[in-house]
Amino acid sequence: MAINDLFNQPLKVINTGLASFKTNLEKVGAEVVQVSWKPPVDVDKNSSRIIDANQSKIDKANQEALNIILNGKPVLVGLDIALNVIPGMKKNLILHSGPPITWERMCGPTRGAIMGALIYEGMAANPEEAEKLASSGKIEYAPCHEHASVGPMAGIISSSMPVFIIKNETYGNIAYCTLNEGLGKVLRYGAFGPEVIEKLKWMETIMYPILKAAVAKLGRVDLKNIIAQALHMGDEVHNRNRAGTSLLYRILAPAIVETSEIKEDTIKVLNFINGNDHFFLNLSMPASKACLDAARNIPFSSVAVVMARNGTDFGVQLAGTGNQWFTGAALVPDALFFPGYTKDDANPDIGDSAITETGGLGGFAIASAPAIVQFVGGTAKDAVQYTLDMYEITAGENNVYQIPYLNFRGTPTGIDVRKVIEKNITPFIDTGVAHKNPGVGQVGAGVLSAPMEPFKKAYEGLAKQFE
């Protein structure tokens, strides 16, 4: 290239800064695109020097991480009881969503869900007993993510809960997730009344054996395929799972009918799944988890493999920083609230469901889900803009998950923490909203941009890997 080559081309300008320059250029007929620029996040100078000096090494690691994430093949292979299959699971261990947290710092919904789980497990007879036991030190707590699992909202998994078993057929790793309870008063939103416990018991004793038999009959259910189709049918498989649930139902129903012996139970189970649009969420989440877990421990990669919230903290893990958590305060989502509730009732962001965004779904694929654009400003264009913004911070585009409206462009996949910092854009997450007090349950649904602090720490943490 030489400078005077420019003199023989039409001038095409990228304008970063004063918007009036763009207006002036347009007046004289030049082609110009404005960069809606924000200053990068203020990070430790030494860290950015290290990251800058190692860009090509990081790029290479990220390509590897992205390839692994994209090559993952998550398949539902069975169901079992948590105690039997989840690594490290034991009677007095309760898994929760998000990064590690002590009882003292736990939010209302998480506490409520833990109390409910203790009652469900028969370890406490009533809420008072449960609360006492929960804070006694006899119960251990750990993040689902540290036990190959994910859980929506409070994300509570206790030892006798049934779980889906999802295998990443490409890499052999397994992920687990509980069965979705439906809406209303449910444990995952921190409710622990008798009806909540009763439903969990029904799920364990009636639904679980039926589903287990049906999945055993099917052998395997290809979740990646269902998700890809669901995106074409208006789901982003986080806040909208209607298509995914329908597709799953079409696969499960014949097998359930074939394997289930008691007609009455069969009808109940089929109606339960059919009546719960979010049933597939508890499969889209572990499907994402299974793909992302395979990309752990790739030295120097700045790609996020976990984003998760416990209602108090927002945590991030990177492919290149092992099991280290980078955390910051969780924010309260912008939401549409159910009648009678306001933002004042809302608990800060909670749940492992941001694993879908981490895997290029959910808020990253919101352009696929025009039916839920009310959550993001009301127009399809708003949704498209959110998805397009996410391409700014990802390492690549999905090879299988696509957005019809964007001419089947792959969803933005593989959050690159460098780009988050450089462009000052945090991941966009779809979410449900729990009441901040234990026992109340869901009060709305909405969206939020992740807090910057965990990403800033992750960026600086990655820089330390080069020391």
Q: Whose Cβ is closer to another protein: residue 5's or residue 344's?
A: 5
Stretch that binds another protein, among 57-65, 221-229, 271-279, 347-355 (CB under 8 A): 221-229
Residues 39-58 that bind another protein (CB under 8 A): 39-40
Binder among 44, 63, 64, 71 for another protein (CB under 8 A): 71
Residues 9-28 that bind another protein (CB under 8 A): 9-18, 20-21, 24-25, 27-28
Residues 368-387 that bind another protein (CB under 8 A): 381, 384-385
Stretch that binds another protein, among 134-142, 155-163, 197-205, 400-408 (CB under 8 A): 400-408
Q: Considering the rule CB under 8 A, would residue 83 count as an interface residue with another protein?
A: no
Q: Whose Cβ is closer to another protein: residue 152's or residue 359's?
A: 359
Which long-range CB contacts under 8 A does 255-259 form with residues at least 24 apart? 255/214, 255/215, 255/217, 255/218, 256/210, 256/211, 256/213, 256/214, 258/214, 258/217, 259/210, 259/213, 259/214, 259/216, 259/217
CA distance 202 to 199: 5
Q: Considering the rule CB under 8 A, would residue 251 count as an interface residue with another protein?
A: no
Q: Considering the rule CB under 8 A, would residue 422 count as an interface residue with another protein?
A: yes
- Count of residues binding another protein (CB under 8 A)? 64
Q: Considering the rule CB under 8 A, would residue 416 count as an interface residue with another protein?
A: no
Q: Considering the rule CB under 8 A, would residue 414 count as an interface residue with another protein?
A: no
Q: Considering the rule CB under 8 A, would residue 236 count as an interface residue with another protein?
A: no
Q: Considering the rule CB under 8 A, would residue 137 count as an interface residue with another protein?
A: no
Minimum distance, C-beta of residue 378 to another protein, in the bound complex (Å) = 17
Minimum distance, C-beta of residue 345 to another protein, in the bound complex (Å) = 33
Binder among 139, 228, 313, 350 for another protein (CB under 8 A): 228
Residue 311 tokens, joined:
């209602």
Q: Considering the rule CB under 8 A, would residue 324 count as an interface residue with another protein?
A: no
Q: Considering the rule CB under 8 A, would residue 172 count as an interface residue with another protein?
A: no
Q: Whose Cβ is closer to another protein: residue 21's or residue 202's?
A: 21
Stretch that binds another protein, among 182-190, 277-285, 295-303, 405-413 (CB under 8 A): 405-413
Stretch that binds another protein, among 103-111, 144-152, 207-215, 222-230 (CB under 8 A): 222-230
Minimum distance, C-beta of residue 321 to another protein, in the bound complex (Å) = 24
CA distance 154 to 336: 20
Phi, psi at 136, each rounded to 5°:
-80, -15
Binder among 38, 90, 217, 250 for another protein (CB under 8 A): 38
Binder among 63, 81, 83, 232 for another protein (CB under 8 A): 232
Q: Whose Cβ is closer to another protein: residue 11's or residue 257's?
A: 11
Binder among 3, 137, 172, 194 for another protein (CB under 8 A): 3
Q: Considering the rule CB under 8 A, would residue 32 count as an interface residue with another protein?
A: yes
Q: Considering the rule CB under 8 A, would residue 348 count as an interface residue with another protein?
A: no
Minimum distance, C-beta of residue 31 to another protein, in the bound complex (Å) = 6
| Three-class secondary structure assignment of the chain | CCHHHHHHCCCEEEEECCHHHHHHHHHCCCEEEEECCCCCCCCCHHHHHHHHHCHHHHHHHHHHHHHHHHHCCEEEEEEEEHHHHCCCCCCCEEEECCCCCCHHHCCHHHHHHHHHHHHHCCCCCCHHHHHHHHCCCCCEEEEHHHHCEECCCCCCECCCCEEEEEEECCCCCEEEEECCCCCCCCHHHCCCCHHHHHHHHHHHHHHHHHHHHHHHHHCCEEHHHHHHHHHHCCCCCCCCCHHHHHHHHHHHHHHHHHHCCCHHHHHHHHHHHHCCCCCCHHHHHHHHHHHHHCCCCCCCCCEEEEEEEECCEEEEEECCCCCCCEEEECCCCEEEECCCCCHHHECCCEEHHHHHHHCCCHHHHHHHCHHHHHHHCCCHHHHHHHHHHHHCCEEEEEEEEEEHHHCCEEEEEEEEHHHHHHHCCCCEEEEEEEECCCCCCEEEEEEEECCCHHHHHHHHHHHHCCC
Binder among 352, 389, 416, 460 for another protein (CB under 8 A): 389
Binding site for another protein (CB under 8 A): 1-7, 9-18, 20-21, 24-25, 27-40, 70-71, 73, 222, 224-225, 228, 232, 381, 384-385, 388-389, 391-392, 397, 399-400, 402, 404-410, 422-423, 425
